[in-house]
Chain A
């Protein structure tokens, strides 16, 4: 079972920042927070991951709270092509627990 909870859906205007929240209150000390997205039944696409510190790459920023019980994925300038289902996943370091367990995700709709 997924260890994260996300809202079912949200929308934002094109060109604006999209802030996608995620709760993971039972996260363990050795578990990372990963974000993937799936655009229209394509293969899931990796976005970003982090452990404690905030992270940024060319796609997005990941803000993790100090207690690590929640995080926010930020798409700084959403485009229509960012419309997708976004999955927040916690992933352990070792063995069988290293698999990615997908929940229902949040459907982001970017409107013109």
Chain B
């Protein structure tokens, strides 16, 4: 059973471009969480999705950021018109049920905005 797969592992974008980060949850998992980790800081929750639904987006910036988890395919975190402050590591986690199962994390996508 493959783990949570994130791609790309590294992404470089120029200011103003769009960044699309993908997360394929573990097989059978229908819950996905996205986190952002700025350099030298802790992990900050961004959004929690179930298939085709956003459950909690309280950590998402109000502008430029969006997330989806379609019925088929990976979850996508999209950042439009990237700025240098968006440079960070973005992690996703998946779990099969809400609780008490553990959530498994991917290895992250490191976004660098130049």
Interface residues of A (CB under 8 A from B): 32, 34, 36, 38, 41-46, 49, 51, 87, 91-96, 98-105
Prevailing SS type, chain A contact patch: loop
Measured in the bound complex, the distance between the Cα atoms of B4 and A2 in whole Å is: 25
A96 touches B105 (CB 8 A): no
B89 touches A41 (CB 8 A): yes
A42 touches B99 (CB 8 A): no
Query: How many residues belonging to B are interface residues under a CB distance threshold of 8 Å?
Result: 26
A99 touches B102 (CB 8 A): no
B69 interface residue, CB < 8 Å from A?
A: no
Measured in the bound complex, the distance between the Cα atoms of B45 and A98 in whole Å is: 11
Please name all residues of chain B whose beta carbon is closer than 8 Å to the beta carbon of A36 when the two chains form the complex. 105
A93 touches B45 (CB 8 A): no
Measured in the bound complex, the distance between the Cα atoms of B99 and A94 in whole Å is: 7
Measured in the bound complex, the distance between the Cα atoms of B98 and A92 in whole Å is: 9
Set A34, A95, A104: member contacting B42, Cβ < 8 A: A104
B residues 4-49 near A (Cβ < 8 Å) are 4, 31, 33, 35, 37, 42-45, 48
B105 touches A93 (CB 8 A): no
> Which residue of chain A has the shortest Cβ distance to B103 in the bound complex?
A100
Cβ of B104 to closest chain A Cβ, rounded Å: 7
B98 touches A93 (CB 8 A): yes
B91 touches A43 (CB 8 A): yes
Cβ of A101 to closest chain B Cβ, rounded Å: 6
B93 touches A32 (CB 8 A): no
Nearest 4 Cβ contacts at the A-B interface:
A96-B56, A43-B105, A46-B102, A102-B43
A91 touches B33 (CB 8 A): no
B107 interface residue, CB < 8 Å from A?
A: yes
Measured in the bound complex, the distance between the Cα atoms of B48 and A95 in whole Å is: 10
Q: 10 interchain pairs (CB within 8 A)?
A: A43-B91, A94-B99, A96-B56, A96-B58, A98-B48, A98-B99, A100-B93, A102-B35, A103-B42, A105-B42
Set A46, A95, A96: member contacting B103, Cβ < 8 A: A46
A101 touches B58 (CB 8 A): no
Residue of B56, B99, B103 with most chain A CB atoms under a 10 A cut-off: B99
